[in-house]
Chain A
Amino acid sequence: MQDLRYARASSVAEAARLLADGGPTARVLAGGTDVIVQARERTRQITLFVDIKGIPEAVDLRAANGEGLTLGAATPCHQIYGDAAVTSSYPALIDAASLIGGTAIQGRASFGGNLCNSSPAADGVPPLIALGASALIAGPGGERRVPVARFTTGPGQNVLEEGEFVVALEVPAPAPASGARFLRFIPRNEMDIAVVNVASSLRFDGGEVVEACVVVGAAAPTALVVEAAGEALVGSPLSEESIAAAAAAARDAVRPIDDMRGSIRQRRHLAGVLTERTLRDAARRARGEEVVSHP
């Protein structure tokens, strides 16, 4: 572990001040499941941890009826999938929350931390994008909101300016007749980084798809919204043909790399497979059928 200091913030303003004072090597400590490893392995220079778990807004979990979901940036996965309202209204988030690491990782890991770590393979990011979520950012210049789809700018890089941090994530309330699903592919059944992951969301009106979003992770420098997949789906009922077209669009859109976790060909192929599977499940959820996230 590199030499560093620890500070606990109890308000948004205090955290912003600590981060600003700490300079570019100050890092927010939410669940710590990525940053503590980075500090220990010295893969990122960190001189100060600013713990935001003492800030009420950062550990919030509010799913008010019809008003959407507010998820504190540091709210741990285990708390999220234990929440009945989130489970029933935002099952695609549960899909991700229940497969990030094992149970002990889920006791700490958060969507906010996952987003700010800005890994191309982040499991929390595609479902947030598919659900149209925004990040509430606080900093020296006050607050701003950035859609999650525009938050990550490259591997390990994002829109946060010095002194800024993500306080919470805001997910709009699900529209009627809509559904979303997140799946990832890993060689084991737990404790792995995604080779590819995909989140899809669908909204139907009178049997026709009126909104569709397919997001592929681990297959480009950042999670990729496959616009052409959405276009292939919207305007007609969901069919084998439209699903296949969306999968083909996903395969075309991805720009994967070859690394020890997966090959280019494998990732391209899996992007198609998972697009098909998530779309079928999203449609089931839109119809009110149960699609289980985890045992």
Chain B
Amino acid sequence: MVAPAKKPYRVVGSRPVRPDGTDKVTGRANYGADIRLPGMLYGRVLRSPHAHARIVRIDAAKALALPGVKAVITQADFPAAEDAITDLGETASNLKWLVDNVLASDRALYHGHAVAALAATDPHVAEDALALIEVEYEELPPVLSVHEAMAEGAPRVHPNMHTVEMLARFSPGPRSEHDIPNAASHLRLEIGDLDQGFAEAEVVIEREYETGTAHQGYIEPHNGTALWNESGELTVWLSTQGPFMMRDQLARVLKLPVSKIRVIPMEIGGGFGGKIPVYMEPMAAVLSKKTGRPVKMIMQRDEVLFGTGPTSATYVRVKLGAKRDGTLTAAEAYLAYEAGAYPGSPVGAGGMCMFSPYSVPNQRADCYDVIVNKPKVSAYRAPGAPAGSFAMESTLDELAEQLDIDPLELRQRNAAVDGTRRIDGAAFQSIGNEAVMRAAAESPHWNSELQGENRGRGIAMGYWGNGGLESSAYATVNRDGTVGLVLGSVDIGGQRAALAMQIAETLGIDYEQVKPIVVDTDSIGFTAVTGGSRTTFATGWAVHEAGLEIRRELEARAARIWEVDASLVHYDDDGVIRGPEDRSFTFREIAGQLHRTGGTVQGKADVMPEGTGPAFACHIVDVEVDPDTAKVEVLRYTAIQDVGTAIHPDYVEGQIQGGAVQGIGMALTEEYVYDDQGRLRNASLLDYRMPTTLDVPQIDTILVEEPNPGHPYGVRGVGEVPIVPPLAAVANAIHQATGVRTRRLPASPRVLLEELLPEE
């Protein structure tokens, strides 16, 4: 279902086949793992079996003696790293921590932490050799939860770390006066006067929530192939969301100038935020340098689960104050998110997003980034927001019940509107929040009657800010009337189509006339990651600018051909260039004359747009809970979202459907299971349970198109917010079905059954 677009577009809003589609349905598309180079070696990584251990000794002699093994490396083979913060787009990281996370130095800080790597002539030999590397460990006590970690006298994972007081998200300030063990930082977000807000309240409700560790779960494992040639130039082929980020991280870890590094992005098999940090790529590079041969590394699935960054397990406490009519007067939250072994959890985003769908004059969120002996977390789709929103939206549901107000009605009464201040003090402009709530209220799903035993319906809102950042694009007019579109944004789910559509719209030509290509870091200007819901927005803006430059150039060229003043020539939106005396060129006509009239015309743009449009979503879900087994079936699901202008509605819907199902996974089945020694017990796709086709229904979508005035085509980011509402929506539905409030997710049958069974 799509609301009518605000502007009559020719290409935007249609549903063409993606340019890379045929290669992807025939098996021809080349992903990172598909690269093969002459003389290539195969690299593997040895990982710590302990959650916390001192590395006493590493002896690779036996491994090196195995025929076919060409090199073994440890962190000592990297240049020494100093402390300095580096910006990764969605998260920030200190270089020393970055390097230590790639390969442990003196201590392994989580089960699966890389301690050594090797390269051999054959993948089987490389695997055999791993067992021949001798590592002597001295086990240390692990810290495994935020509660353990922050307790007085808790062992400190980083003995010299002191709690930092954040000035704002991503802006570290001075040491905090209140040092808390293993709390890397504290961020307070605040507006209004919280005490006064609670004093005005007639009802106050305070609840605690927890979520487990969840992984992005992309089907393609991490991979990287490196060739460090004899001139000291490094080329890396891999699947990444951000080739330039990868280049920057490699430059810092390896102490190379960026000009010596070329990153070639292959097709990428999913990322969701997880394919931004470096893992094996620097190891492959150093192994290549040592051997003089290209080195290919691919993670096994268990390595992906225990060796890369999932999202935080969390603890959130929320306290709401309201009038009897439901008006919220105060909202307070305490959030502690697991960072893993190095700082950098998305707890600030959790505090930032959870109250944002609502107008609450007095708000405070205290956000703690907490070190534990688990893998360092990475970005995962709207990083940090799902857990915070789970807490807020569950508590709102309870408040609605207490006040006997319909849960959607309660949300509508408190809806943030244009001008409403967020917790960081900024005021919203042109948001579709109310429109989303209205669309939910009018939706067939919300207005249907839920029939049957043991069934419940839940609703929840979600908010995400979306990203801008830098993008480059480059377009060339070919003589056959087509346009070559050169992009630095990796295509992770249809971006080539969405970007080709935007420049086709700008030029007034057909989508089929645009030939987009994603290129390497030597072939285009800096472009930030495909992530943060920014690509169709920011790179879309860049292709539009490139298109406008082509329009100006073609106007000038037509003026020259017609020998008239350029001011009399106009490039119209239908792609026709019109001049005096009814003279005109179609795009194809003038393209065919370019090389005879002065040469090729190119458009290029580098943009860093500011006007990102925040995204709001409302999800409605019906569940049935088997009272005997506590298994939750999702019966019906509707996701309503303000998407701005839907450039390619299929891929907009697809983002929403995929995000919703990932959220359902977090709500019901997905979590890391650790033993009391901190060893990950379910590092497989058998026991890390992502939803299958049989676990979810069709996901209905309602696209609310409130164009973002900060973008030429009204684009808002769409990819991230759909993972925010499902957790609370499902939990609220379970409550209606069973009477049980699930305050810890996932609501696995094992946990829920304890609630349903009488106490023993």
Contact = CB atoms under 8 A, between A and B. Distances in A.
Interface of A: 1, 3, 102, 185, 187-193, 195, 260-263, 265-266, 269-270, 273
Contact of B749 (A102, A191, A260, A266): A266
B669 A188 contact: yes
A193 B685 CA distance: 12
B694 A187 contact: no
Shortest beta-carbon contacts, A-B, top 4: A189-B694, A260-B673, A273-B628, A260-B681
Contacts of A1: 124, 127
A270 B760 contact: no
Contacts of B629: 185, 270, 273
A188 B757 CA distance: 20
B520 to A, nearest CB: 34
B179 interface: no
A266 to B, nearest CB: 5
B366 interface: no
B753 interface: yes
B451 interface: no
Contact of A192 (B128, B668, B689, B754): B689
Given A193-B686, A263-B750, A185 B631 contact: yes
B121 interface: no
Given A260-B673, A263-B750, A270-B629, A188 B689 contact: yes
Interface residues of B, number: 27
A262 B748 CA distance: 10
A4 to B, nearest CB: 11
Given A1-B127, A273-B628, A191 B686 contact: yes
Given A187-B631, A188-B694, A191-B689, 11 more contacts: A1-B124, A3-B124, A3-B128, A185-B631, A188-B669, A189-B695, A190-B694, A193-B687, A260-B681, A260-B682, A265-B753
B750 A266 contact: yes
Nearest to A259: B681
A263 B760 CA distance: 14
B694 A192 contact: no
B691 interface: yes
Contact of A262 (B668, B685, B750): B750
B26 interface: no
B160 interface: no
Contact of B691 (A188, A260, A263, A269): A188
B692 interface: yes
Interface string B669-698: 100010000000110011101011111000
Interface in B741-755: 748-750, 753-754
A191 B736 CA distance: 29
Contacts of B754: 265-266
20 contacts: A185-B631, A187-B631, A187-B749, A188-B692, A188-B694, A190-B692, A190-B694, A190-B695, A191-B689, A191-B692, A192-B686, A192-B689, A193-B686, A261-B687, A262-B750, A263-B750, A265-B760, A266-B749, A266-B753, A269-B753
Contacts of A187: 631, 668-669, 689, 748-750
Contacts, number: 58
Nearest to B123: A1
A262 B681 CA distance: 13
A12 to B, nearest CB: 32
Contacts of B760: 265
A260 B669 contact: no
A189 B692 contact: yes
Nearest to B669: A187
A1 to B, nearest CB: 6
Interface of B: 124, 127-128, 628-629, 631, 668-669, 673, 681-682, 685-687, 689, 691-695, 748-750, 753-754, 757, 760
A265 B631 contact: no
A191 B668 CA distance: 15
B601 to A, nearest CB: 52
B757 A265 contact: yes
Nearest to A102: B692
Contacts of B128: 3
B681 to A, nearest CB: 5
A40 to B, nearest CB: 9
Contacts of A190: 692-695
Contacts of B692: 102, 188-191
B667 to A, nearest CB: 12
A260 B760 CA distance: 21
Nearest to A101: B686
Contacts of A102: 692
Nearest to B632: A187
B412 to A, nearest CB: 35
B694 A269 contact: no
Contacts of B687: 193, 260-261
Nearest to A270: B629
Contacts of A270: 629
A117 B214 CA distance: 31
A3 B68 CA distance: 15
Q: Which of B629, B682, B685, B686 has the most CB of A within 10 A?
A: B629
Contact of A188 (B682, B695, B750, B753): B695
Contacts of B689: 187-188, 191-192
B344 to A, nearest CB: 27
A200 to B, nearest CB: 16
Contacts of B749: 185, 187, 195, 266
Q: Which of A188, A189, A191, A192 has the most CB of B within 10 A?
A: A188
Nearest to B694: A189
A195 B681 CA distance: 16
Q: Which of A191, A262, A263 has the most CB of B within 10 A?
A: A191
A286 to B, nearest CB: 23
Nearest to A191: B692
A7 B396 CA distance: 64
Nearest to A258: B750
Nearest to A185: B629
Q: Which of B668, B681, B687 has the most CB of A within 10 A?
A: B687
Contacts of B694: 188-190
A275 to B, nearest CB: 11
A44 B201 CA distance: 64
A190 B669 CA distance: 12
A270 B693 CA distance: 24
Contacts of A266: 749-750, 753-754
Nearest to A273: B628
Contacts of A263: 750
Contacts of B693: 190
A127 to B, nearest CB: 20
Contacts of A269: 753, 757
Nearest to A42: B131
A295 to B, nearest CB: 9
Contacts of B124: 1, 3
A192 B691 CA distance: 11
Contacts of A195: 749-750
A195 B750 CA distance: 10
Q: Which of B673, B686, B750, B760 has the most CB of A within 10 A?
A: B750
B445 to A, nearest CB: 22
A189 B634 CA distance: 11
A192 B685 CA distance: 9
A190 B692 CA distance: 7
A154 to B, nearest CB: 21
Nearest to B665: A188
Contacts of A193: 686-687
A185 B695 CA distance: 14
B300 to A, nearest CB: 9
A189 B127 CA distance: 34
B213 to A, nearest CB: 13
A261 B692 CA distance: 18
A22 B127 CA distance: 24
Nearest to A277: B628
B144 to A, nearest CB: 15
A18 to B, nearest CB: 23
B690 to A, nearest CB: 9
